[in-house]
Structure 1
Amino acid sequence: MENKLLINKMKNAAELAMAAYGYYDLMTNSDNQLFIEIQNKKNEDFIKKDITLIDIMDNTFADYKVYKPQLSPKFKPNKVGTLKGDFAPTQAKRFFDKYDLLDFYPKFDTKNNKQKEGFHACLFQDKETKKLIGKVE
């Protein structure tokens, strides 16, 4: 039983380290109306999809382009980034069922319209124990 607990702790630590690299600034929210386009299975059209925390880490959406809508519908949306999730879909869901993301760095570089590179840090909270977990990568 001790080995199982140790392995579980190592898995959690590895997932937290991986999650510290999430591009959380690409998540759709009230201030950030970003979206990805996914193919509608009923026809060849594409539909807009809001971006969630799970989508950001889900490798299903890796390499999907993230767009910001234009003020006028006449213009194409601006590409602002690309999703790069490393988790399997069920792993991403399970991770965010266990942890809340409280804050993250880097923020989006609005001056250059891109994700800042280099130093990444995230503050997570275990939903059950309420323990704060900071990860710096």
Structure 2
Amino acid sequence: MAASMTMIGSLPQIAMAYDENSSSAVNVDAKGVGLKGFDPVAYFTASAPTMGKSSITAAHDGVTYHFASTENRDKFKTDPAKYAPQYGGFCAMGVALEKKLDGDPQAWRVVDGKLYLNVNKDVQKKWLEDVPGNLKKAEMNWGSIKTKTPKSL
């Protein structure tokens, strides 16, 4: 755990959530787009990060998502909770360590039918060393940090 904290503590400032002063439970850009424009359904159907199109969108929990196809958008609309990233798109390892770090759509994993992001692939390697343990910690932490600002954690 200490090594993980050191790794996260040494990340450059740009690795933090988009707006360090936002108390939102979802990680979005300045236009309210989640997953940096990647298609959330594609992680499940194509098993790969796929850039969505700004012309094909759907909203869920205050986040606008982009989709690679209308078929993916329609799947999302049928069951958005199934496809939306966990912890509002913040880094799952960060949440396990009581931090709200930006989620990188390229550092992802579907576990038990849920999409998780990490701040980068190095942090993801640490997260993957104990996914069940890290998810248990994250689940315990999320309720108390989700409405706090990243800067305050």
- Check whether TM > 0.5: no
| Higher share in strand | 1
Give the TM-score, by structure 2 length: 0.29
| Higher share in helix | 2
Give the TM-score, by structure 1 length: 0.31
Structure number with the bigger relative contact order (C-alpha 8 A, sep ≥ 6) is 2
